[in-house]
Amino acid sequence: MNQDKQTILTDKWGRQMDYLRIAVTDRCNLRCFYCMPAEGIQYLPKKELMSYEEILRVTQNLAELGVKKIRITGGEPFLRKDLMQLLRKITEIDGITSLNLTTNGVLTYPHLKELKEIGIDHINLSLDSLDKQNFFAITRRDEYNKVMQTLDGLLDHGIKTKINMVVMNGRNEHEIQAMAKLTKNKNISVRFIEEMPFNGSDDQNAKIFSAQDILDELKHHYPALQKIAQEPNSPSTAYQIPDYAGSLGIIAAYTRSFCGTCNRIRLTATGSIKNCLYDEGVLDVKGILRTGISDEALKETFIQTVQRKEVNGFVAEINRQKNTQITESMSTIGG
Ligand code: SAM
């Protein structure tokens, strides 16, 4: 293949994909009500998950097409056995310059030293409440102390940390101020995210606490809030409270105002490639790997798949809804 590596994975709208998010499992040890029903979802039998060899092969081939950044997510990634071995192998792939992880923090603390050693770039810690009781009400699990231990450990190990808080009407919007205050002395980024319709059912929250609502709430408590430069391709609009050590971000994940700069594709726990969080999966990569496709043909398939990426998440969602009204759980997609 003699195309320029920089431009191979380009969609028909001119966007270049250099970021792959990999859900390594669909299992989770929390039951956040906005993500999964209380009884959980129908987990895949183990052989239906992508093996580590398959994940590495996909990553290697996509790296050869210009993917540079990887995020490992799930389900809860640390529920998958030998995760650290997979992470190490990913760092050895030529062309991968940034390895990141999204975790709920329950099982993460014992791995922090090794994560630092292998050069993890950023860890995103999902944390929707700083109040132990409210944490339990949202996650339906009593794991608050372990998550807070992980947060402290991340800072002690000097690992770049982002806290992701999904803001939900009537559940935790009253904690926005307290979350923002975490950035006073801690050099972390706290990002407030709109709830999205991915809870594994057809019963969705009718009233979203929007990005604008979040901004209004922040400005109410911190009138001096300043907009700051945001990272390239980031879905997050960045802010800072003057003289605070860390920064804030608002992610309009439901309003979808950032599709124009999208640079990401996803590999779900079920082994399908998604061009968009809101599409229904555009390539059964597990299936084609298991029928013995060559690396050359695999790369060609990836190139063609990316070209089919929809212009934005609204179009992708309309197409998906032609087939089903039931949303996947975010635990399968990986967020
Ligand atoms: N278990 C890991 C964790 O909790 O970070 C990784 C997987 S989890 C599905 C990834 C992110 O998706 C979490 O931050 C979670 O809060 C977010 N998420 C799940 N369902 C969501 C929804 N319906 N709307 C917005 N964010 C959601």
Are 19 and 26 in contact, with CB atoms under 8 Å apart? no
Residue 223's pLDDT is: 97
Give the mean model confidence (pLDDT) for residues 258-282. 93
Ligand 1 pocket: which of 256, 330, 331, 333 to mutate (most atoms within 8 A of CB): 330
* Of 270, 320, 241, 228, residue with least CA distance to 42: 270
Q: Looking at 33-42, 132-141, 277-286, which range is the least confident one?
A: 33-42
Residue 1's pLDDT is: 40
Residue 44's pLDDT is: 86
Residue 321's pLDDT is: 79
The residue nearest atom 7 of ligand 1, judged by CA position, is: 74
Give the mean model confidence (pLDDT) for residues 258-266. 93
pLDDT band at 2 (very low <50, low <70, confident <90, very high): very low
Q: Would you state the structure tokens that stand for residue 306, as one six-digit string?
A: 């990316």
Query: What's the 314 CA to ligand 1 centre distance in angstroms?
Result: 20
Query: What's the 319 CA to ligand 1 centre distance in angstroms?
Result: 23
Q: Phi and psi dihedrals of 125, rounded to 5?
A: -105, 125
The residue nearest atom 17 of ligand 1, judged by CA position, is: 335
Query: What's the 26 CA to ligand 1 centre distance in angstroms?
Result: 12
Burial class (CB in 10 A: 0-12, 13-18, 19+), 272: buried
pLDDT digits (tens, 9 = 90+) for 288-327: 999 999 999 999 999 999 999 999 998 898 888 777 665 6
Q: Which residues line ligand 1 (CB under 6 A)?
A: 28, 34-35, 73-76, 102-104, 126, 164, 166, 193, 195-196, 198-199, 253, 330-331, 334-335
pLDDT band at 3 (very low <50, low <70, confident <90, very high): very low
pLDDT band at 41 (very low <50, low <70, confident <90, very high): confident
**Higher pLDDT, residue 208 or 226:** 226
Compute the distance between CA of residue 300 and CA of residue 291 in angstroms, rounded to an integer: 16
pLDDT digits (tens, 9 = 90+) for 173-196: 999 999 999 999 999 999 999 998
CA contacts within 13 A on the Cβ side of 126: 27
pLDDT digits (tens, 9 = 90+) for 68-100: 999 999 999 999 999 999 999 999 999 999 999
- Average pLDDT over the chain, rounded to an integer: 93
Compute the distance between CA of residue 54 and CA of residue 59 in angstroms, rounded to an integer: 9
Compute the distance between CA of residue 22 and CA of residue 274 in angstroms, rounded to an integer: 10
Kindly give the number of the ligand 1 atom that is closest to the alpha carbon of 197: 23
The tokens 């999208």 sit on which residue?
A: 262
Q: Would you state the structure tokens that stand for residue 284, as one six-digit string?
A: 């059964």
Q: Determine how β-strand 272-274 pairs with β-strand 160-167.
A: unpaired
Q: Phi and psi dihedrals of 110, rounded to 5?
A: -65, -15
Kindly give the number of the ligand 1 atom that is closest to the alpha carbon of 164: 14
pLDDT band at 204 (very low <50, low <70, confident <90, very high): low
CA contacts within 13 A on the Cβ side of 93: 27
The tokens 């003289």 sit on which residue?
A: 243
Are 283 and 273 in contact, with CB atoms under 8 Å apart? yes
Helix, strand, coil % (nearest 5) of the chain? 35, 20, 45
The tokens 């990634």 sit on which residue?
A: 77
Give the mean model confidence (pLDDT) for residues 248-267. 92
DSSP structure class, residue 199: B
Residues 6 or more apart in contact with residue 91 via CB below 8 angstroms: 99, 118, 119
Residue 7's pLDDT is: 59
Q: Determine how β-strand 272-274 pairs with β-strand 283-284.
A: antiparallel
